Structures are given as structure tokens and as C-alpha cells.
Structure 1
Amino acid sequence: MSETRFSSQPINLKTKGLGHLNADAQCGDVASQNWNILREDVSLPVAVLREERINHNLAWMRDFIGRYGLKLAPHGKTTMSPALFQRQLDYGAWGITLASASQVNAAFQCGVRRVIMANQLVGKANMAIISKLQREDSGFSFTCIVDSADNVAALGAFFSVQQQTLRILLEYGVAGGRTGIRNEQQEAQILAEIARWPDALALVGVEIYEGVMKDEAAIRTFLRHALSRTQALAERGLFAEPEVILTGAGSAWYDVVAQEFTLATPYLDSAQRYTLNVVLRPGCYLTHDVGAYKQANERILANNPVAREMNGSLLPALQVWAYVQSLPESGLAIVGLGKRDVAFDAGFPQAALHYRPGADFPPGVADSEWRIFNMMDQHAFMAIPANADIRVGDMLAFDVSHPCLTFDKWCQLLLVDEQFQVTDLVATWF
């Protein structure tokens, strides 16, 4: 990882999850503070990233994608942390995926120069952000998706005035899903509108998002449809560049996308004008989780031959530590973390580790019967057995479900080693 780009970034001292720092502290100062979570050097609650597991997950996904001969543009909205983007790029990512013009700007300001915006670029202010970035660096590679003639017309008019070319991907979708073209009439209208702006718009590929679907057979049918439409567009000579992007894959079905899209022939068209560049976009692999993505990982390990041949699998790397705050009645512990600290939309956090400050032994595995069943803004209600060995002041580490909605609750997260010594800090730019 390139340290110089982020080490001089100021630390926000007005937020949570930090130890004592001088007023002018920078990110690069954190490692020298000798903080340790177990020594209570840091205010809890605190969100931490297990660095050894992060590196394992980075290497695992790099190797998985590499075995299929594909490229990776992980979705940056998961972490919105340019320092983590850099780690992903250092582990071979082709680019970074983002969801909005403001996210693209944040990544650009921190050095990211190849972006897929897996969303429509709508509105003049958002278009102006992208135009400015393209003007600032002619080497900036940006693509966004389109699924309507109205949006294409607005983009064409705007970038024509700017005397710039915007690279776009045609998005296909499914009935009842999210965005994307549903039928041939919509496709024809969009293609006709793109043709009106030959200098302002360049069609460079096709995009899909399969994560709105739950049935594997239906997903495979949809992926084959997207591939067939890509080939049909290539036969008509409609792509503006010889290397055509075909991109999909959230964090739940990337294995199926990899399998289906590697079935494409080296050339998309009979005239051999176009080759295919398949780019997958999972984002949550970096930290993994103990909810939906754990279930997806179990399916992948059971069904995917490439994953089975690899050593190990993805590991949960994001944890939130908090104190037991109150034991007001038998069978109930109140923990000092809440909806302001950790995701709860896809399942409550799960107690993973238990530590009593001052103990001369490492944290133990939390009792499987300790279960959070309700959360408020700053409190979690945890059911415990009546005879549980738990005290006010004990420290608990919680694994999370849906890491995206934990990251966005923290301005900064601490990286820790396996002894919970703080090794670094990463900032988020939500």
C-alpha cells in the first residue's frame, strides 16, 4: 500500500473510537501511539478491521478472479475509504466501482483513475462533477450506465456543450428488479438516441446487476441474455472501442457471474472487431460478514470448483468492540453500542469475543447463547443465561451483517493485528 498518500491526512478528533491524540495528529501518527484495544487505550465503541484477515480476503479474491482470467473493480461504496481502495488496487484490482458523482470525486481526489459508476449519471450538477474531473486529467477513465433515452439525451446535450466524450454502458435489467432495460423497444430507443451524439457519447459496453434476484437458475438466464445482447450489439458494430466492457456481480453471486461470462468467445463478433473485457464488482469481500455474505460464501464453497480448490475462504474482518454497560435484571445485558454504531438492517451484530479488562489471557470466544435481540440508538439488548459469567465493564467484539451500513457510521476505523494492537487508521469519505 502507498503510505504517503494517506499518512499526512488529518485525523478527525471530534468523533468516536479513538485514543488520546494531539490536536495536529495525522493518520500516519496512529501506529506510533502504541494503542491496544484490550488495554483500553481507545474509547469504546470502536470499529476495527482485523488486518491479517483483510489481507487474506484481498489475496483470496485476487486469486479467485485471476483463475477465471477476469478483472476486478470492487464496489467502493462498501467502505468509501480511499486508503482501502488503494489496498484493493495494490492487490491487482483493475479499477474501483462507485455509485454517485460525489463518490467518484472523492476517489479521484485520492488518486483513483479508473472508475465504473454503476449508476445513471442524472442531473446537471452531477454531470458537471464528472466533466470537471475529465478536464483535470485526460487519463481519467470513467464510465457510467444508461437505461433510458431521456437520460441519454440529457447526457449528450451536456457533454456536447463541454466538447467532451462520455463513455457509457448499456444496462439491462429484469422485470420487478431495479434499473435496466426491460425490452427491445427500450433498447432501440436508447441506441437511436446514442447515435444522435457521436462526439459526446461513446458506447463501450454492457452492465448488469444480478443481486436483485435470488434464484440461481433465473440469474444464469439473465446473465446469458446480457451476453447475447452484448454479442448482438457487437455484430452491429455499435461499440466505440475495440475492447468491450461486460460488467456485473455484486457480493453474493460473483461466482455465477464469473462462470457464465467466461463462456464468451474471445471475439464478440464474426468480423473480430471486438474483444471482451469482463469486470466483476463485488465490494463486501474485503471485510466479509456473518450474515448474507457468509451464506453466499457457504454456497460458493459448496458449488464452485475453483473456490473449493483454493486454500481457505473469506473471513469476517470488521468488528465493533463495546462495553457491557448494565446488567439490570436476570437474563439481560445492556451493551454500549446501538444503531448509530453498527448495521442492523440485515441481522443484529453477533457477539464473537469476550474479554475482561486486566486479564492476563487473550479474549475468549463469546458464549453462543449471548444474543442481541433489540437495538436503540446507543444501546443493544443482549439475552444471556441467568448464570452467565459476564460483568459490567467487560468488553465484547461483535461481528456484523451488511458491512456497508456499519462503515458509514464511522469517520475512521482502526486496523489491528491479532493481538489487537492498533497498526493504522483508515478514514471514510461518506
Structure 2
Amino acid sequence: MTHDRNASFPGNAEAKGVIPTLDGKKEVASLEKGSTVLGTKVLSGVSLPAAIIRDEALTHNLAWMQAFAERHGAELAPHGKTTMTPVLFERQLAQGAWGITLATAVQCQAAAAHGVTRLLMANQLVGEANMAIVASLIADGVDFYCVVDSAENVAQLDGFFAARGLTLQVLIEFGVPGGRCGCRSAEEVLALAEVIHEAPALALAGLEGYEGVVEAVDPAQGVRRYADTLVEVARTLHEQGRFTVAAPLVTASGSAWYDVIAESFHAAKLTGRLTPVLRPGCYVVHDHGLYREAQAAVLARRGDLTSALEPALEVLAQVQSLPEPGLAIVALGKRDIGYDHLPFPLRRYREGGTANQILSTEGWTLTKLMDQHAFVQLPRDTQDVAIGDIIAFSVSHPCLTFDKWRQLLLVDEALDVKACLSTCF
């Protein structure tokens, strides 16, 4: 089987294949004519490199984070920018997610086109072209939210949506000094709420924040202080009658500090007044680097958690050259995998072998990554490596690997393909 990261979906008519998804629906993917995807063995029938998602780990992660949110009395709105994969959105929603978080109007448009009906754009909506996209979504019945942090943006949005007879639900963003967007103080938030109150086309629907930009000598304590302040400001807005929706939101949480945010929301006993919403995204496939480290910190803070998220995303590639002792060149590059943290070899297989026939990568180190080539240093006494050997590589920060692929392969424990998942970046 071949897969084309650069082909648009659904692909040309001669090359179409119908791929069953796990909910019984059909997804059209661009395939080589005459190929069969379902049941194809990754180690013998797939053009590599390929990005794979291990379904057992994915299923575990979906249930784990949904249960975590529910135990803390919070809703879950996973950040969809991580994957931009509609089938994964469907699975997150089917697991019980309140909605999907996204970062841009175009991402929201793509998610809505695939059936997502509640969207939280955790970003300011600026530019009339982007406003027009959102206006179309609202007119089509999408339950849409975005954030604001300035009177100027409020005026722009109010004018645009009033002219179209639409109401835009907004959350005030509460930021931190030195961070990115957001009002810098509670006083600024309360003043902006007054401005929104005078904007007839806007409905103040909650308070939003992002703790990942908090800087403190004790990061965990700094995030706790920020979360507690976010809750107090939301309560003040509620007491002043500034919210104009029945169940206003208070929302934060990326993929590193979700436990601290959840604890603060839960301790505040917001149920009945405010709707707490968590927004982690990377949990869905987790990783072997940045977020594995973050998860270790979560487990250290929370001794009551008896299980952890599991890495589900890997990129498989083949040894293409053994030009000198101690060096393997693998057909993997910056076009195939994220590289803010260099990947490392997880396992090795012989082409045509099976998933339980694992060869050693002990002492193997990826030292350099080019556009299409990876330099892997081997122990000098390595004897059993062969051209064509398949290496499974780790992923760190999954967002920056997903966006390199138009298709990812969902595989079972035998590395047989269960489905081909299209992205919509």
C-alpha cells in the first residue's frame, strides 16, 4: 500500500478506496489503485516512512482523560489543533467530550465540515475574512465561542456580527504579565465586561485562560495561584451579572498542567453557577518526550492516579544506507517527524517480519535530522542491521508530527492496519 501525504482528499476518482472507521461510517482516503488497506501489514505492505497510531493506547488515553475530567466535575473540550483528524474528533466526542477546542477560524470551519457542532476557539477572532467564516458557522447552527481581550476587538466584532443579525458568544481572556494574549489584571477583565455589556451583538459567555505561559520559581504553585485567580474573577463576573448565558464557562488547561487546573476548578465547587472546561489536546496520543515528562510530573503530584497516559503515535522508517561502520542512514527527515526534541529509536523489525519479532536498538542514537535523512549512530560492533530494516521512532510534541501527514494509519498490536485516518490541516 502507498499513502500520499501531499494528495488532497478524497483523491482522484481512479484511486479511491473506502476505509471503514471504528464507528461503522465510511471514510474516503486516497490510495494506490488496486491496493487494500484494511488488514494490510505495516511491516510488509506499506510505503514507508509512515505515521502510525496504536489503537490500544489511543483507546486507553481517550477513556483516561474523559474519566479524569468527570472525576473533577469538569467538561472536556480537547484541543483539536493537535491532530486535526476528524475521526479522532468523533471518538473524543463519542467518549463524552463537551466540544472541540481549536485555534483558528479555518480550523473551526474544517471541524464543522466534519460534523462538530460545538467549537471553542481559544483565540481572538480578528480580520473580516475570519469573521465571515465564523458568521457562516453560527448561521448554520454551530455553537461557537471565541475569546476577546480588548475594547477594539469588541467593537470590531460587534459591528460585524450586528450587521448580519447574529450573536457571537465570547469569553474574556485573562492572561499574565509577560505572557501572550489576555487582559493583564482582574480590573482589566471587569472593565472589558462593561464594554461587552454595551455591545448588543456579543454575549459574554465566560472567562478563559491558559496557564502554560505562567512563569514562577515554583511552576506548580504559580499555576495554582493563576487558576485560583481565574476562578475568583469568574465568580466576580457572575456575581455582578455580567454573563449573558445560562451556564457561563470558566476554562483553561493545556496538556501539561491539567491536573492543577482541574483541582482548582473542583475545589471551587463551581457546579450550578459556572461550567468548568478543560482543554488538553496532546493526551489523545500522548508522546515519548515532552508530554511523557509532563505526565511524570502529574503522577508525582497525584499519588492517587494508578495509571498513566500511553504513547500511541510513532513514525516508522527504513534503513537505506550503511555507508560506514557505526552509522546507519534512515529514510526519515524533518518532513516526516517533529524535531523540537530529536526522535529516538524505539524498536526495530525486519521487513516482512511480524510485530513480535523485535530486533535490538540498544545503543542506537539519532544524532542529526535532515529534510529526508536521519543519521543514526550505532555501536561499532553492530552486526545484524540490514538495508530495509524498519525502525519505529519516538515522537515528542505530537502537534508537530501530525501536521506533516495527510494520512495516518491506525494499527492493532500486530501492526495490521485497522483504518486510514485523514487529517485536515
Q: TM over 0.5, yes or no? A: yes
Verify the 8 A CA contact 2:318 2:331 in the aligned structure 1: yes
1:352 is the counterpart of 2:342: no
1:396 is the counterpart of 2:400: no
Distance 2:160 2:353 in 1: 64
Equivalent residue for 2:135?
131
Paired AA for residue 175 in structure 1:
P
Equivalent residue for 2:24?
none
Equivalent residue for 1:331?
326
TM-superposed CA distance for 1:306, in Å, is 4.1
Distance 2:401 2:76 in 1: 23
Distance 1:123 1:148 in 2: 14
TM-score normalised by the chain length of structure 1: 0.89
Equivalent residue for 2:43?
38
Verify the 8 A CA contact 2:19 2:38 in the aligned structure 1: no
Paired AA for residue 101 in structure 2:
T
Q: Cα distance 1:100–1:129, how it changes in 2: closer, same or farther (>3 A)?
A: same
Distance 2:245 2:323 in 1: 66
Secondary structure of the 1:122 match is coil
Out of 280, 283, 291, the position equivalent to 2:281 is 283
Paired AA for residue 386 in structure 1:
R
TM-score normalised by the chain length of structure 2: 0.90
Question: Structure 2 unaligned runs (5+)?
Answer: 21-27, 30-35
TM-superposed CA distance for 1:22, in Å, is 5.7
Q: Cα distance 1:429–1:261, how it changes in 2: closer, same or farther (>3 A)?
A: same
1:143 is the counterpart of 2:145: yes
Equivalent residue for 1:23?
15
Out of 166, 172, 178, the position equivalent to 2:168 is 166
Secondary structure of the 2:144 match is strand
Out of 113, 119, 125, the position equivalent to 2:123 is 119
TM-superposed CA distance for 1:24, in Å, is 2.5
TM-superposed CA distance for 1:335, in Å, is 0.8
Equivalent residue for 2:296?
298
Distance 1:43 1:61 in 2: 33
TM-superposed CA distance for 1:213, in Å, is 2.8
Equivalent residue for 1:416?
411
TM-superposed CA distance for 1:221, in Å, is 0.8
Distance 2:301 2:268 in 1: 21
Equivalent residue for 1:179?
181
Equivalent residue for 1:270?
none
Verify the 8 A CA contact 1:374 1:381 in the aligned structure 2: yes
Paired AA for residue 374 in structure 1:
K
Equivalent residue for 1:47?
51
Q: Cα distance 1:264–1:149, how it changes in 2: closer, same or farther (>3 A)?
A: same
Percent identity among equivalent residues?
47
Greater shift after overlay, 322-331 or 354-363? 354-363
Paired AA for residue 193 in structure 2:
L
Deviations 1:325-366 (A, max 9, x none): 111122211110100000001x11121110112446724264
Equivalent residue for 2:380?
386
Distance 2:318 2:167 in 1: 54
Deviations 1:44-78 (A, max 9, x none): 00001101111011111111112112110000000
Secondary structure of the 1:125 match is helix
Deviations 1:240-287 (A, max 9, x none): 0231201110000000000011111346xxxxxx61110100000010
Verify the 8 A CA contact 1:47 1:318 in the aligned structure 2: yes
Verify the 8 A CA contact 1:352 1:366 in the aligned structure 2: no
Secondary structure of the 2:342 match is coil
Q: Which runs of structure 1 show a deviation greater than 6 angstroms over 4 or more consecutive aligned residues?
A: none
Distance 1:32 1:12 in 2: 13
Instruction: Give the root-mean-square deviation of aligned CA atoms.
Output: 2.0
